[in-house]
A and B are shown apart, each in its own frame.
Chain A
Amino acid sequence: MSVLKVTKNNFDEVKNSEKTVLLDFYADWCGPCRMVSPIVDEIAEEYPQYLVAKINVDDEPELAESFSVTTIPTLVVMKGGKVVSQSSGARPKEQILNMLEG
């Protein structure tokens, strides 16, 4: 599956998703975000049971604020439109998968 680029216009897709959602809040200039980004891409590729989405905090400051994001990258797992876990900072693949499975 490809990664969904989230804006406030298509955020309903995330909120109403029947799949478990992985959200990656990032910015292009942020080193730790660039480390996590290919891992998130890989998860999208390998685990079609998840909806994997990225939100650029520069383009979507309101969405970042609504998730109280003050650190990037921030990774959020949502189920049925609700946040079930949120973690700040770069994480190895295994830990991100644990968040999704947890």
Chain B
Amino acid sequence: MMEYIYDMIIIGGGPAGYTAALYASRAGLDTLVVERMSAGGQMALTGDIDNYPGFDEGVDGFTLGMKMQQGAERFGAKTKYAEVTGVDLSDKIKRVKTSSEELLAKTVVIATGANPRELDISDEQQLIGRGVHYCAHCDGRFYRDKTVVVVGGGNSAAADALYLSRLVKKVYLVHRRDTLRATKIYHEPLFQAQNVEFVWNSVVEEFITDDRVVGVKVKNLVDKKTGEIACNGVFISIGRMPVTAFLNNAVEIDKNGYIVADESTRTNIDGIYAVGDVRTKALRQVVTAVADGAVAVHYAEEYLAHFSD
């Protein structure tokens, strides 16, 4: 039996992936999206999106994700729910492997986005749900009147610390530098908050546990001294990690794990495109992700026009 060959397989069903699917299926390409869990990606985890144009009262990310999926499926794009475990991009027909099958395509669009970056210290994985958290908005409420540590100094850490300060008894903000990287808009309310204490120049080295988290060991990077902070929970907000490990360096990846591609979204392999947050780019937003999706299909169509040459 001949194996089925798609014109395009898109790995990841966030805004970039489903925009590529919309443009590709609308252009008549036989298109499959392979999504690990459900549509929307990181966007689906965002309550209110105020900076995606066309929604004068904002839009919730989950709904927008579902709409992007339906918009693409309207023109015939299909979705398969599976986790991609590996790829083989060495031949003209590309192979995309999931835990249960191997899928074939003439072009592949990588739209796997990013996940929260982990501290990468021992027991972190095991303590998720027992004091280690990556989503202040989801889990903050369980720490009413308790003490929490927020790790990080960027916008999301500042927003998390501010949000938590309104719920919990005390917030320690542990940051490796001596000043916030977060934009100014966060500084004033955070410095005003009575129950936020800054722990500058410091990193969390270890979780102190008693079945669940009861504190953290913190090291000061300047005087090298270590100390302990007693707390009930730790919210980690130290940025994002692009999801590229499954590629096993089949395309060029930079030192931070992002796929190297310019605004054309073309990678170093013909017929392979990187779109959205997984690509090297200046601004990671829903609007730039969807733009990538459209651009990738433009170049893929060009590539497919000469496919059998």
Contact = CB atoms under 8 A, between A and B. Distances in A.
A39 interface: yes
Interface stretch (B130-138, B162-170, B219-227, B273-281): B130-138
B308 interface: no
A84 B138 CA distance: 24
Residue with the highest number of chain B CB atoms closer than 10 Å, among A36, A64, A94:
A94
A32 B47 contact: no
Given A70-B142, A71-B138, A72-B138, A31 B61 contact: yes
Task: Classify chain A: how many residues form its interface, as a range.
Answer: 20 to 34
A32 B136 CA distance: 12
Task: Classify chain B: how many residues form its interface, as a range.
Answer: 20 to 34
B44 A35 contact: yes
A71 B45 contact: no
B46 A31 contact: yes
Given A31-B47, A74-B129, A39 B38 contact: yes
A89 B38 CA distance: 14
A88 B126 CA distance: 10
Contacts of A72: 138-139
Contacts of A94: 82-83, 99
A94 B99 CA distance: 10
A90 B129 contact: no
Contacts of A21: none
B190 to A, nearest CB: 24
A86 interface: yes
B129 A87 contact: yes
Interface of B: 36-38, 40, 44-47, 61-62, 81-83, 99, 128-131, 133, 135, 137-139, 142-143, 212, 233
18 contacts: A31-B44, A32-B45, A34-B44, A35-B44, A35-B45, A39-B37, A39-B38, A68-B212, A70-B233, A72-B139, A87-B129, A88-B128, A89-B129, A91-B37, A92-B36, A92-B81, A93-B81, A94-B82
Interface of A: 29-36, 38-39, 64, 68-72, 74, 86-94
